[in-house]
Amino acid sequence: MERIDEDRVGGPGEPPSLRRGSAEHVDLLSILPEEAAARLRAHFAGRGQPSYRAGQVLSWLHERDAMDFSELTDLPAAERAALAEAFLLPAPTRAREERSNDGTVKHLWRLADGELVESVLIPAADGRMTLCISSQAGCAMACVFCATGWSGYRRQLTAGEIVSQYRGSRRALREAGRGEISNVVFMGMGEPLMNRGAVMAALTLLNGAYGLGARRVTVSTVGIVPGILELAARPEQFRLAISLHAPNSELRRKIVPVEKKYPLPELLGALREFEAAGGRRITFEYVMIQGVNDALPLAHELAGVVGEFQSHVNLIPYNPIPGNDWRPSSPMRLREFAAILEEHRVPVTVRTPRGRDIAAACGQLAADHALRPPKPFLELKMPERSRAPAS
Ligand code: SAH
């Protein structure tokens, strides 16, 4: 594995909030494409500049991933300076790049206020290049098996900070001559549907401005019902993945605490609406943890739950996180579990762990933050006896 520290390729200069911070400055990376176009046209009109200048700026932003107005070299210097006076272009800096033995690349991004998030580039043998991005700094969902949950919640990302992971990664790939990103998955740090405003805008931007087909973008959620319904109502065909991890409420609430807020029957109701709205295939993710949720009767039960949908089950061998001695299910158990789903005619794949050596695999992203077991984990690990009140 290789490690490059404090590389500046992702964005020269200091964070924008230090450079020039004012409430009037609009963040050009977070607003929707039409609004950006309108504001830029008004800006240039006010300066007596031709209206095609707006198009020039947008192409630098959305096609060439400019990180600073100083890069817009086909604009007069005075116009570059005026843009920097009027707008913000808060590109995160690429603080670290780590490369796994399997070709996976993890980036650590430093945001304008110093907050850190990670994204992961995952090349596949068939030529696809998937980018896994974060939607929040940390996460409040406290799933007991996930390092991001163990690292706690810090703040929401803006739409610009979400798409910047795409911009920065695309730029890094192009500079290295390593091809283009074919797919984006919201499977990094955070719960995307707990940051709906920014995530919905980021989806519009990725699809409408940065040119990624909606079917190539997957939102993965722990099961936030209002967010699923909002996605269902969108006209684009964004893909949905559900982190299910258990086929019944009783087991699920022990490992995915949000089950208490959005219980399985309600979640399934939302998925019916999602399916009815567009006939899109739903992916169910199921992390396989030895002795926790991998008993074979659960596979039959799972088939019963997902069988009504046009679905696909992704079995994810548990990726170990520091402080938790759980183990992934054995390869044999993974095969048996998958075989039962197949018997029930449920399409299933076993996800190959990628980037484990650089802590870039599913559930391992923590952006250098300390890990502390979340309360639901401690409750789960505490034996029944010691939990019962003394009588
Ligand atoms: N919050 C969103 C997206 C982030 S997690 C969600 O829950 O879907 C992306 C996937 O990795 C989820 O399915 C998550 O449950 C899974 N995951 C989390 N921790 C893991 C671990 N330690 N090993 C394997 N998969 C894990």
Higher-pLDDT residue of 179 and 388 is 179
**Span of 17-21, 223-227, 362-366 with lowest mean pLDDT:** 17-21
Give pLDDT tens digits for 246-274: 999 999 999 999 999 999 999 999 999 99
Please give the backbone phi and psi of residue 2, each rounded to the nearest 5 degrees, phi first: -110, 155
**Number of other residues whose CB lies within 10 A of the CB of residue 164:** 28
Cα 7 → chain centroid: 23
The structural domains of the chain, ordered by start, are 30-88 (1.10.150.530), 93-381 (3.20.20.70)
Give pLDDT tens digits for 305-364: 999 999 999 999 999 999 899 999 999 999 999 999 999 999 999 998 899 999 998 988
Taking CA atoms only, the protein residue closest to ligand 1 atom 8 is: 221
Q: If you count DSSP H runs as helices and E runs as strands, how many of each does the chain have, helices first?
A: 14, 15
CA distance 198 to 186: 12
The Å distance, Cα 209 to ligand 1 centre, comes to 28
Q: Is 117 helix (H, G, I), strand (E, B) or coil?
A: strand
Pocket test for ligand 1, best of 157, 220, 225, 325 (most atoms within 8 A of CB): 220
Does ligand 1 come within 6 angstroms of the Cβ of 66?
Answer: no
Q: Token pair of 151, please?
A: 């690292």
Cα 35 → chain centroid: 25
| pLDDT of the residue at 387 | 52
The Å distance, Cα 319 to ligand 1 centre, comes to 9
Taking CA atoms only, the protein residue closest to ligand 1 atom 9 is: 187
The Å distance, Cα 201 to ligand 1 centre, comes to 23
Taking CA atoms only, the protein residue closest to ligand 1 atom 15 is: 243
pTM of the model: 0.92
Q: State the pairing for strand pair 239-243/105-110.
A: unpaired
Give pLDDT tens digits for 65-113: 999 999 999 999 999 999 999 999 999 999 999 999 999 999 999 999 9
Among the listed residues 79, 98, 118, 191, the single catalytic one is 118
